[in-house]
C-alpha cells in the first residue's frame, strides 16, 4: 500500500519489483499503483515462490488490523488515515482496486499461507511531512525524452502495452529498468526506505524463513536494493513499530471508494486490461460509441469503422502489440471529433481538469474510460466513532429518510435543525434544506429538509472523522478551516458565520473567534463589513429563533467588525463621487453597536470618530456619519460650526452621512432647529447654478426622513421665515387640484 | 541577380534525410507511401540518434494521429489559430509521405473549381478540341493520377460550393472529365493519394463547412505550444536562422526572446505565468508572430545602428502587431505593459516599459 495524497496526482503512484538473492530468495517487486501488469507479476511470483513472508509497503501499525482487508469487500475501497496535530490535519488515502498489486499480494499470500506484514512507517511519522519527492520530475523528463507527453502515457507505452507478450521475467526486467532510469543519479536512501529494508532483512534472517516477496513502490526499489546489499547484521527480530505521541490524534479506517475518486485517469480501462476478456481496445471503442449514441450524438457505422481502424493504426505506428489507452483516446479524437477543439486533449496534459465546455466526444471518452463502479465495505468493517455518533443522533432526533419539517421556535426542533446543519456543513450527502431562513433577519421560522439515503454518506463521514470525534467537533473544525480559507472575503465570512449560527456552534468553538477576528482584519470592503456587523448585531441582540442571542462568537465579530469599520472609514478619502449609502449604513451599524453593545466593544471608537469628522481629507459623507455617531452629545454651537465648515456643494453628501446615522437623534436633539436654519441660510445664499448642482444630494439626504418627519422639518423651517403662510404644501396642492377641476369643467371634460 | 531560392520546398531542404530514411527503413509502408509510418514520424519530429533534425515543435501524438489518418480513407483537416505551424506541418507530412509538398491549392474567396480539378489551354482547346493535350490538370487531379498527397491551404476561405467539389473526390476517389471520352474520361485516384486541408479558426471557422465534407475528414486541432521553455527555444532558433538569412551577423540578446514569449503567452491566454489575469488581445499572438517580431527587432538594430536590436526596437514593432486587428488592443497592450512591467524588475522589462510609454504617450 503506498499513499496517494489528493492533489499530488502523479507524484506517488509508483510502487516496483526487484530481485535479491541472499541465500534465500528475497524478491523485491517494484510496482506502480493500479497497474494490471504489476499485479500479474505479483500474483505469478508469489505462486511460483510460495514464500513464507509477503511484505507490502503500507503503515506497519496497520498489520495488526490486516484482517479487516481480508473481509469480503466489493472494490474499490480505500484505507483512509488521518493525523491531527492541533488545528492541522493531514489525511491520506491508499486505494485498492481489484487489480491493485498490493491487493493481489494480500490475496495471493493468503492462498499460499504466507505471513503478510506491512513494512512502511506509520502515516503520522514525520518522514511523511516533507515535500513530495522528485519522482514526478524525473519521470516527466524521461517521458519527454521518449517523445510522450505524460507519465501515464509512458507507463502504458513501456509496460502495459507489452504485458501480454512478455514473460514475467522479461516484464520484471522491463520494470526494473524503468524504475532504475527514474531514480538514476539519486543514491540517497530515505528514512522510510531504511525502515522497509530493516523489515526485509529481519524476514530473511528469521529462523525457518523461506522465500520473501516484497511489494513496494517502484521508485523505492533501487534504494531498498542498495540498502539490502550493504548487509547490515540483524538478529531476526522484527523492527519496532514507532508509536505516536499523546499530542497526535491518528486514525485509519477503510472507506468505500469509487472509480471517479481514484487517483487514476481511466480505472475502467485498466479493469478491462486486468480482466483480459477480449481486446480491451475493441471493448472500449464499442463502449465510447455506445455512450455517444445514448446521448444522441451521431456516430455512423463508417465513423465506427474509422475509429477502430485508427486505433489499430496508432498502435502499429507506436509499436504496441496491444492498443493502449492513449491509442483508443487519440483515435476517438481523430475520427469522432468534427470541430476545432478549444483546449488541448485532456489526456495530453497530466492532471489538468477538462475545460469549461469540453467537446461531447472528449467528455464521452473520459467518462467511459473512467467508469462508474463504486465499492462497498463488508458490514463487519470497523468505523470511526463519528459514524456511530451520527447514527445515534439521527435515531435520537428521529431524522429518517423523507421530508422533515421543523419549527425553529420549538427547542427540540432547533436541536434537530442544528444536527442537520452540522451534517450539511460537513458535506454529508443526503441532507438537503429545501426551505428555511436565509439570514438572521428572515421572518420565517419553519425549516424544511429532505433526507435521502446516500451511498456516499459513510465515506464522507469516515473522512470527516479526521476532523473530530463528535458531530459538533467535526463541524466546528470544518467551519474553522472554511473561515481560514475565506480569508478576507467578507461575503464568504458572513456566509460561514451564519452557518455557525445555524449549527449552534457560535458559542462552542473558542478558536473560531480568533480566526474570524483575524480574517476580518484583512477585509477591505467597508460596505460589506457594515452588512456583516449589522447582521451580527441583530442576531446578538434579538435572535430567539437560532438561539444565538448574546453568543460569544457574534460578540467577538461585533467587536472586530466595529474596529474594522472605523479603520476602513479612515481610509476612504474625499473624491468627486457622491454619498455612498453602503458605507453610511456601515457607520450606522457601528453607531448602533456603540449604543447597544457597549459592553463587548474592547475599545470605544468615539474619539476616533470625532477626529474623523474633523478630517478635511476624509470623504464628506463619512465625516457626516462620523459626527452622527455622537450627535446627541454635541452642543448646538459646535453642530452649526460643523455644518458651516462643509463646502456648499458637498453639503448634501455630508447631510446624507449625518441623517443616515442619526436621523432620530437629529430631530430629538435641541440643536436640530439651529442646524436646519444654518442649512437653510447656506442654501438661500447659493446662486441658481450652485443650487441646481447641490440639489440632488440635498434631496437624497432628506429622503432618510419618512414623510411625516419631512413635514415636521418643513413646518419648522417655514415658521422661522416670512413666507411661512404660503408654503403649506398640502394647501397649495388642494388649491391646484381645484383649479384643474374648474378648468376641466369649463371645457366640458368633467 | 541572385539565383538562390528564398525558401525551397521541404523535400528539397531535407532531401538527404528523406533519402536516408527511405533507404534504411525496410518495414511495411502504406500503399503509395515513400516512407513507413514510423519513418515519416521520425522525419517530422526528428531523432538525434539517427541524425534527423527536429522540424516540427509540438505534440508527437498529433503527428502520429495525422499520419495514421492519411493512411486511411479519410482526409486530414488541421485546424487551429493562425501561426500554429499548421502549414509547416502539412508541408512536412506531404514531403514525408509523397516526397512532394508542392501539390498545393491556396484557398481564398476567389478560388474556383478549375484551380482544384482541371482547366484548359484555350488555344489548344479551340484548335484541337478537348484532349489530354489541351487539358491543364490542377493539383487535385495530379495528386489523384500520381498517387500523391495534395495540400489544400485555408480550405474554409473558399466559397462553400467550391469546398464541396472535394466531396466526390474524397469519397468516390475518382474525378470525371465529361469533356473527354474513353479511359481519359475518368481519373481514378492511385494509392498514396489523400488530402491535407488546413483551416484557421480566426477568420472563417469550420462551422460553416458542410456536414458531408466534414465527415470525409479527420479533424486535428493544432494548439499553441504548451511549454514555455520550448516556445522560447523555438523563437530563439527560428529568429536566429531568419536573421542569418537576412545577413544580420549579431547575436540577439536571449532576454529579448524570453520577454517576447512571456508577453505573447500572457496576452494569448489572458493569464500570467503565476495565474494573475490580464486582458487578452484579440490580435493573433502566435509563436510565428513572435518569431517575426524577433526578426524585425534584429533587422532594425543591425541595419539602423549595427547592433543586435534592443528592447526599444522590440517595443516599436510590438505596437504595430497589437493594433493589427483591433485598435482596442493598443490600449490593452499599454495597460498590460504598465501593470506587468511594474511588477517585473528585470532590466528588459523596465526598458520595455519606458520605451512603450514613450511610444504611446501619456
**Average pLDDT, whole number, for chain B?**
85
Q: List the grid coordinates of B19.
A: 533519402
Indicate whether A722 pLDDT > 80: no
pTM over the 0.80 mark: no
Indicate whether A498 pLDDT > 70: yes
Beta-carbon separation of B214 and A338 below 8 A: yes
Q: Which of A146, A281, A317, A337 to mutate to test the interface with B (most CBs of B within 10 A)?
A: A317
Tens digits of residue pLDDT in B71-95: 888 899 999 888 888 888 999 999 9
DSSP SS3 for A128: helix
* Other Cβ atoms within 10 Å of A489 Cβ, number: 16
CA distance A560 to A90: 31
Q: pLDDT exceeding 90 applies to what percent of chain A?
A: 5
Query: What pLDDT does A729 receive?
Result: 61
Mean pLDDT on A287-306: 89
Tens digits of residue pLDDT in A434-458: 888 776 666 777 888 888 888 778 8
B71: contact with A, CB 8 A cutoff: yes
Reported confidence tier of residue A219, pLDDT bands at 50, 70, 90: confident
Tens digits of residue pLDDT in A663-696: 887 877 777 778 888 888 888 888 888 888 888 8
Query: What pLDDT does A97 receive?
Result: 92
Helix (H) or strand (E) holding B217: strand B217-222
Tens digits of residue pLDDT in A544-583: 777 777 778 788 888 888 888 888 888 877 776 777 888 8
A302: contact with B, CB 8 A cutoff: yes
Indicate whether B325 pLDDT > 80: no
Environment class of A205 (CB within 10 Å of its CB; exposed 0-12, middle 13-18, buried 19+)? middle
Mean pLDDT on A40-57: 90
Residue A652 contacts residue A579 (beta carbons within 8 Å): yes
ipTM: 0.81
B41: contact with A, CB 8 A cutoff: yes
Mean pLDDT on B246-259: 83
Reported confidence tier of residue A101, pLDDT bands at 50, 70, 90: very high
Tens digits of residue pLDDT in A3-19: 443 333 333 344 344 44
Query: What pLDDT does A611 receive?
Result: 83
**Grid coordinates 481560514 are at which residue?**
A484
Q: List the grid coordinates of A337.
A: 471529433
A359: contact with B, CB 8 A cutoff: no
Tens digits of residue pLDDT in B260-310: 888 888 888 777 877 777 777 777 788 888 888 888 888 888 888 888 888
A355: contact with B, CB 8 A cutoff: no
**Average pLDDT, whole number, for chain A?**
81
Query: What pLDDT does A510 receive?
Result: 65
Tens digits of residue pLDDT in A607-654: 888 888 888 888 888 888 888 888 877 887 887 888 888 887 788 888
A317: contact with B, CB 8 A cutoff: yes
- Half-sphere exposure (Cβ direction) of A59: Cα atoms closer than 13 Å: 27
Q: Which of A313, A337, A362 to mutate to test the interface with B (most CBs of B within 10 A)?
A: A313
Indicate whether B196 pLDDT > 90: yes
Minimum-distance CB partner of A338 among B59, B219, B223: B219
Beta-carbon separation of B38 and A300 below 8 A: no
Beta-carbon separation of A349 and B38 below 8 A: no
Beta-carbon separation of A310 and B72 below 8 A: yes
A593: contact with B, CB 8 A cutoff: no
Query: What pLDDT does A9 receive?
Result: 35
More confident residue, A101 or A554: A101
A730: contact with B, CB 8 A cutoff: no
Query: What pLDDT does B2 receive?
Result: 59
Query: What pLDDT does A262 receive?
Result: 84
Name chain B contacts of A326, Cβ cutoff 8 Å: 61
Of A225-229, A269-273, A566-570, A669-673, the range with the lowest mean pLDDT is A669-673
Q: Vertex A23, ends A17 and A29: CA angle to 5°?
A: 5
Of A6-20, A342-356, B209-223, B348-362, the range with the lowest mean pLDDT is A6-20
DSSP SS3 for A383: coil
Tens digits of residue pLDDT in A386-408: 888 888 888 888 888 888 888 88
Environment class of A692 (CB within 10 Å of its CB; exposed 0-12, middle 13-18, buried 19+)? exposed
Q: Name the DSSP letter for residue B308.
A: S
User: Searching chain A, which residue's CA lies closest to the CA of residue B41?
Assistant: A317
Tens digits of residue pLDDT in B136-194: 999 999 999 899 999 999 888 888 888 888 888 888 888 888 888 888 888 898 888 99
Name chain A contacts of B218, Cβ cutoff 8 Å: 306, 310, 334-335
A443: contact with B, CB 8 A cutoff: no
Beta-carbon separation of B218 and A326 below 8 A: no
Reported confidence tier of residue A177, pLDDT bands at 50, 70, 90: confident
Indicate whether A354 pLDDT > 60: no
A360: contact with B, CB 8 A cutoff: no
Beta-carbon separation of A341 and B37 below 8 A: no
More confident residue, A22 or A663: A663
Most confident of A202-216, A298-312, A588-602: A298-312
Name chain A contacts of B79, Cβ cutoff 8 Å: 340
Tens digits of residue pLDDT in B340-362: 777 777 888 888 888 877 665 44
CA distance B347 to chain A (A): 31
Indicate whether A319 pLDDT > 50: yes
Reported confidence tier of residue A23, pLDDT bands at 50, 70, 90: very low
B218: contact with A, CB 8 A cutoff: yes
DSSP A54-104: EEEEEEGGGGGGTHHHHS--BS-EEEEEEEEETTEEEEEEEEE-TT-HHHH
Q: pLDDT exceeding 90 applies to what percent of chain B?
A: 12
Beta-carbon separation of A343 and B223 below 8 A: yes
CA distance A326 to A266: 10
Name which of A60, A43, A170, A169 is nearest A114 in CA terms. A43
Query: What pLDDT does A507 receive?
Result: 56
Q: pLDDT exceeding 70 applies to what percent of chain A?
A: 90
Query: What pLDDT does B322 receive?
Result: 65
Mean pLDDT on A297-313: 89
Amino acid at each position: 500500500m503506498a499513499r496517494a495524497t489528493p492533489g499530488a496526482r502523479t507524484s506517488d503512484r509508483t510502487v516496483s519489483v526487484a530481485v535479491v538473492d541472499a541465500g534465500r530468495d528475497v524478491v523485491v517487486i517494484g510496482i506502480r499503483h493500479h497497474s494490471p501488469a504489476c499485479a500479474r507479476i505479483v500474483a505469478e511470483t508469489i505462486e511460483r515462490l510460495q514464500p513464507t513472508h509477503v511484505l507490502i509497503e503500507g503503515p506497519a501499525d496497520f498489520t495488526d488490523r490486516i484482517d479487516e482487508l481480508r473481509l469480503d469487500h466489493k472494490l474499490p475501497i480505500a484505507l483512509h488515515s488521518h493525523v491531527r496535530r492541533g488545528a492541522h490535519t493531514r489525511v491520506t488515502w491508499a486505494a485498492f482496486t481489484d487489480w491493485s498489486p498490493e491487493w493481489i499480494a494480500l490475496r495471493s499470500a493468503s492462498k499460499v499461507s504466507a505471513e503478510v506484514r506491512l513494512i512502511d512507517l506509520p502515516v503520522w511519522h514525520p518522514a511523511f511531512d516533507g515535500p513530495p519527492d522528485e519522482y514526478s520530475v524525473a519521470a516527466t523528463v524521461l517521458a519527454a525524452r521518449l517523445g510522450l507527453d505524460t507519465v501515464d502515457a509512458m507507463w502504458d507505452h513501456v509496460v502495459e502495452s507489452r504485458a501480454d507478450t512478455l514473460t514475467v521475467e522479461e516484464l520484471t526486467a522491463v520494470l526494473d529498468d524503468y524504475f532504475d532510469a527514474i531514480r538514476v543519479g539519486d543514491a540517497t536512501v530515505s528514512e522510510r526506505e531504511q525502515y522497509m529494508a530493516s523489515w526485509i532483512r529481519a524476514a530473511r534472517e528469521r529462523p525457518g524463513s523461506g522465500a520473501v516477496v516484497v511489494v513496494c513502490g517502484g521508485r523505492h526499489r533501487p534504494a531498498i536494493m542498495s540498502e539490502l546489499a550493504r548487509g547490515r547484521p540483524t538478529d531476526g527480530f522484527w523492527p519496532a513499530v514507532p508509536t505516536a505521541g499523546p499530542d497526535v490524534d491518528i486514525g485509519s479506517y477503510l472507506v468505500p471508494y469509487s472509480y471517479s475518486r481514484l487517483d487514476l485517469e481511466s480505472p475502467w480501462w485498466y479493469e478491462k486490461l486486468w480482466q483480459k476478456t477480449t481486446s480491451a481496445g475493441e471493448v472500449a471503442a464499442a463502449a465510447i460509441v455506445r455512450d455517444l449514441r445514448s446521448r444522441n450524438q451521431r456516430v455512423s457505422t463508417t465513423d465506427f469503422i474509422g475509429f477502430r481502424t485508427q486505433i489499430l493504426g496508432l498502435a502499429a505506428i507506436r509499436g504496441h502489440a496491444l492498443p493502449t489507452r492513449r491509442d483508443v483516446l487519440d483515435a476517438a479524437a481523430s475520427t469522432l471529433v468534427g470541430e476545432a477543439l478549444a483546449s488541448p486533449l485532456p489526456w495530453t496534459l497530466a492532471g489538468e481538469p477538462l475545460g469549461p465546455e469540453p467537446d461531447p466526444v472528449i467528455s464521452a471518452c473520459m467518462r467511459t474510460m473512467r467508469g462508474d463502479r463504486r465499492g462497498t465495505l463488508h458490514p463487519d468493517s470497523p468505523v470511526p466513532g463519528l459514524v456511530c455518533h451520527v447514527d445515534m443522533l439521527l435515531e435520537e432526533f428521529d431524522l429518517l429518510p423523507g421530508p422533515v419539517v421543523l419549527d425553529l421556535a420549538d427547542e427540540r426542533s432547533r436541536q434537530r435543525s442544528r444536527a442537520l446543519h452540522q451534517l450539511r456543513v460537513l458535506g454529508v450527502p443526503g441532507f438537503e434544506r429545501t426551505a428555511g431562513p436565509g439570514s438572521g433577519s428572515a421572518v420565517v421560522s419553519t425549516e424544511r429538509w429532505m433526507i435521502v439515503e446516500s451511498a456516499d454518506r459513510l465515506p464522507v463521514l469516515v473522512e470527516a472523522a479526521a476532523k473530530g470525534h463528535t458531530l459538533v467537533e467535526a463541524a466546528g473544525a470544518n467551519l474553522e478551516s472554511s473561515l481560514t480559507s475565506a480569508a478576507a472575503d467578507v461575503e464568504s465570512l458572513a456566509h460561514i458565520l451564519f452557518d455557525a449560527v445555524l449549527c449552534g456552534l457560535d458559542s462552542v468553538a473558542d478558536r473560531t473567534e480568533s480566526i474570524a477576528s483575524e480574517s476580518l482584519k484583512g477585509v477591505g470592503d467597508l460596505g460589506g463589513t457594515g452588512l456583516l456587523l449589522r447582521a451580527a448585531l441583530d442576531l446578538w441582540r434579538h435572535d430567539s429563533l437560532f438561539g444565538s442571542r448574546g453568543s460569544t462568537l457574534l460578540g467577538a465579530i461585533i467587536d472586530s467588525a466595529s474596529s474594522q469599520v472605523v479603520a476602513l472609514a479612515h481610509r476612504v478619502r474625499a473624491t468627486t463621487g457622491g454619498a455612498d449609502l453602503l458605507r453610511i449604513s456601515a457607520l450606522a451599524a457601528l453607531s448602533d453597536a456603540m449604543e447597544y453593545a457597549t459592553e463587548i466593544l474592547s475599545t470605544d471608537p468615539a474619539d476616533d470618530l470625532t477626529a474623523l469628522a474633523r478630517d478635511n481629507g476624509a470623504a464628506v459623507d463619512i465625516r457626516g456619519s462620523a459626527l452622527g455617531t455622537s450627535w446627541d452629545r454635541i452642543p448646538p454651537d459646535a453642530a452649526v460650526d460643523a455644518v458651516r465648515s462643509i463646502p456648499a456643494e458637498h453639503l448634501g453628501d455630508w447631510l446624507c452621512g449625518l441623517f443616515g446615522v442619526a436621523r432620530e437623534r437629529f430631530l430629538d436633539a435641541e440643536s436640530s432647529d439651529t442646524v436646519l436654519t444654518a442649512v437653510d441660510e447656506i442654501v438661500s445664499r447659493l446662486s441658481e447654478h450652485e443650487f441646481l448642482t447641490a440639489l440632488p444630494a440635498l434631496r437624497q439626504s432628506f429622503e432618510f426622513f419618512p414623510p411625516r418627519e419631512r413635514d415636521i422639518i418643513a413646518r419648522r423651517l417655514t415658521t422661522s421665515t416670512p413666507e411661512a403662510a404660503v408654503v403649506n404644501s398640502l394647501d397649495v396642492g388642494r388649491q391646484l387640484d381645484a383649479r384643474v377641476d374648474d378648468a376641466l369643467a369649463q371645457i366640458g371634460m368633467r | 541577380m541572385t539565383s538562390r531560392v528564398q525558401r525551397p520546398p521541404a523535400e528539397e531542404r531535407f532531401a538527404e534525410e528523406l533519402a536516408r530514411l527511405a533507404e534504411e527503413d525496410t518495414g511495411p509502408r502504406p500503399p503509395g507511401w515513400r516512407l513507413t509510418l514510423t519513418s515519416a514520424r521520425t522525419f517530422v519530429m526528428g531523432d538525434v540518434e539517427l541524425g534527423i533534425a527536429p522540424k516540427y515543435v509540438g505534440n508527437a501524438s498529433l503527428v502520429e494521429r495525422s499520419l495514421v489518418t492519411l493512411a486511411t480513407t479519410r482526409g486530414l483537416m488541421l485546424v487551429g489559430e493562425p501561426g500554429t505551424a499548421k502549414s509547416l506541418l502539412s508541408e512536412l507530412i506531404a514531403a514525408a509521405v509523397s516526397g512532394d509538398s508542392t501539390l498545393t491549392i491556396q484557398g481564398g474567396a476567389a478560388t474556383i473549381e478549375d484551380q482544384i480539378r482541371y482547366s484548359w489551354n484555350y488555344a489548344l482547346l479551340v484548335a484541337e478540341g478537348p484532349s489530354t493535350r489541351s487539358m491543364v490538370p490542377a493539383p487535385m487531379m495530379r495528386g489523384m493520377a500520381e498517387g500523391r498527397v495534395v495540400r489544400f491551404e485555408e480550405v474554409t476561405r473558399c466559397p462553400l460550393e467550391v469546398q464541396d467539389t472535394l466531396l466526390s473526390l474524397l469519397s468516390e476517389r475518382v474525378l470525371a472529365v465529361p469533356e473527354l471520352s474513353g479511359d481519359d474520361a475518368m481519373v481514378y485516384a492511385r494509392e498514396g493519394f489523400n488530402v491535407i486541408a488546413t483551416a484557421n479558426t480566426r477568420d472563417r471557422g469550420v462551422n460553416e463547412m458542410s456536414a458531408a465534407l466534414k465527415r470525409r475528414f479527420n479533424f486535428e486541432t493544432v494548439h499553441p505550444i504548451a511549454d514555455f521553455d520550448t516556445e522560447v527555444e523555438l523563437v530563439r532558433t527560428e529568429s536566429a536562422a531568419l536573421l542569418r538569412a537576412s545577413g544580420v551577423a549579431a547575436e540577439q540578446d536571449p532576454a529579448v526572446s524570453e520577454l517576447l514569449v512571456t508577453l505573447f503567452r500572457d496576452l494569448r491566454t489572458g493569464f500570467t505565468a503565476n495565474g494573475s489575469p490580464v486582458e487578452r488581445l484579440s490580435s493573433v499572438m502566435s509563436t510565428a508572430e513572435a518569431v517575426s517580431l524577433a526578426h524585425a527587432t534584429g533587422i532594425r538594430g543591425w541595419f539602423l545602428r549595427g547592433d543586435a536590436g534592443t528592447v526599444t526596437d522590440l517595443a516599436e514593432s510590438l505596437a504595430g502587431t497589437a493594433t493589427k486587428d483591433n485598435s482596442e488592443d493598443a490600449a490593452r497592450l499599454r495597460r498590460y505593459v504598465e501593470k506587468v512591467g511594474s511588477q517585473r524588475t528585470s532590466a528588459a522589462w523596465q526598458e520595455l516599459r519606458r520605451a512603450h510609454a514613450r511610444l504611446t504617450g501619456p
